[in-house]
């Protein structure tokens, strides 16, 4: 079980790191004239990804209901993204014109949109899984 | 399939012998039904001891190291340990679904996957039990998934 949790952590880290680097690249391309993403930003993204992956472990809990896991996960991850932005001073990076409030708002909206999209995909997968399981259960009960 | 029944006063108990070339799925189901028919389970309620048919049991649950038998309308206590119940009903529709519950699959009304790897099973009486991640593969293999 511990191995599965460790695998879950590294899978989350890989996904979070990829998404955060892509997001930073897109944001930088839109807001600055810089053609390269600096190494310092990559490291900061890595720290953010590690923290997000740790929070992601809340979904492994068997004691919490899924709705609580989602609420806790959403609040903590949003807080971490905004906090990292403030600590690493992303809002004024490269002399961009974003104000602190605008940066917080944009981070919040981007993450919420991403969270919503993920939720819709997971919901569709779960719906298909539920149908498959119940069809098989019906079949099993008929055989008995 | 030929069915031979010998009825005589010489027999004190029912004995079933199956002669076959190989055990296929339908034969496995038949053996499972015979096993269920053959094993009653005793449960205590108040001062009385009841003999219950396994097909009437919804699930077995452990609370404070005591094992309880849940049927549609009653709860009984049993001296059997959960692993003993699990072993007794090997090959039947009664399987372990978590550290503390052994469930009769026939009594499930429907199931819902919980997105965190677990499955919620809603029973025919409306009760909900959780199939833990550890036992989801066992449950799925029972359903040929």
> What is the spatial distance between Cα A18 and Cα A23, in angstroms, rounded to a whole number?
9
Owner of token pair 């699959």? B105
The distance of B4 to chain A (nearest Cα, Å) reads 22
> What is the spatial distance between Cα A82 and Cα A108, in angstroms, rounded to a whole number?
7
Contact B71, B123 (CB under 8 A): no
CA torsion angle for A143, B139, B130, B41 (degrees, to 10)? 60
CATH of region B25-142, choose from 1.20.120.1630, 3.30.1320.10, 3.40.1390.20, 2.40.50.1020: 2.40.50.1020
> How high does pLDDT run on average in chain B?
89
The distance of B8 to chain A (nearest Cα, Å) reads 30
Residues B49-76: tens digit of each pLDDT: 898 988 899 999 999 989 999 999 899 9
Q: What is the ipTM of this complex?
A: 0.76
Quote the percentage of chain B above a pLDDT of 70: 97
Is pLDDT at B35 greater than 80 in this prediction?
no
The pLDDT of residue A99 is 67
B58 by DSSP, 3-state: which?
Answer: strand
> What is the spatial distance between Cα A60 and Cα A133, in angstroms, rounded to a whole number?
22
What are the structure tokens assigned to A79, written together? Answer: 């807080």
Instruction: Delimit the domains of chain B by residue range.
Output: 25-142
Q: B144 vs A136: CB contact, 8 Å cut-off?
A: yes
> What is the spatial distance between Cα A19 and Cα A32, in angstroms, rounded to a whole number?
19
The pLDDT of residue A4 is 76
From A66, A69, A144, residue closest to B93, measured CB to CB: A144
Q: B115 vs A66: CB contact, 8 Å cut-off?
A: yes
What are the structure tokens assigned to A93, written together? Answer: 């990076």
Q: Any idea which of A66-75, B25-34, B110-119 has the lowest mean pLDDT? A: B25-34
Strands B128-131 and B119-123: antiparallel
The pLDDT of residue A117 is 87
Q: B108 vs A61: CB contact, 8 Å cut-off?
A: no
Instruction: Give every residue of chain A whose pLDDT is below 50, as ranges.
Output: none
The pLDDT of residue A52 is 92
Q: Which one is predicted more confidently, B2 or B141? A: B141
What are the structure tokens assigned to A113, written together? Answer: 């949109």
């Amino acid at each position: 079980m511990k191995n599965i949790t460790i695998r879950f952590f590294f899978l989350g880290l890989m996904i979070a790191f990829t998404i955060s680097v892509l997001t930073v690249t897109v944001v930088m391309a839109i807001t600055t004239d810089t053609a390269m993403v600096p190494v310092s930003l990559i490291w900061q993204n890595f720290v953010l990804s590690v923290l997000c992956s740790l929070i992601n472990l809340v979904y492994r809990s068997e004691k919490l209901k899924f709705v609580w896991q989602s609420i806790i996960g959403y609040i903590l991850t949003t807080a971490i993204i905004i906090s990292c932005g403030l600590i690493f001073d992303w809002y004024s990076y490269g002399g961009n014109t974003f104000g602190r409030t605008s940066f917080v708002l944009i981070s919040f909206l981007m993450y919420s949109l991403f969270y919503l999209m993920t939720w819709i995909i997971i919901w569709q997968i779960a719906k298909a899984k539920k149908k498959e399981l119940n069809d098989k259960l019906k079949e099993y009960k008929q055989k008995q | 399939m030929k069915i031979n029944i010998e009825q005589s006063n010489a027999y004190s108990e029912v004995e079933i012998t199956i002669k076959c070339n190989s055990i296929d799925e339908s034969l496995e189901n038949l053996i499972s039904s015979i096993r269920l028919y053959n094993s009653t389970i005793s449960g205590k309620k108040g001062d009385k001891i009841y003999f219950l048919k396994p097909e009437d049991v919804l699930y077995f649950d452990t609370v404070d190291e005591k094992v309880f038998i849940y049927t549609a309308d009653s709860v009984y206590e049993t001296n059997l340990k959960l692993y003993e119940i699990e072993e007794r009903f090997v090959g039947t529709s009664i399987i372990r679904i978590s550290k503390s519950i052994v469930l009769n699959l026939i009594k499930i009304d429907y199931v819902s996957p919980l997105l965190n790897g677990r499955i919620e099973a809603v029973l025919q009486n409306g009760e909900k039990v959780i199939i833990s991640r550890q036992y989801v593969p066992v449950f799925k293999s029972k359903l040929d998934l």
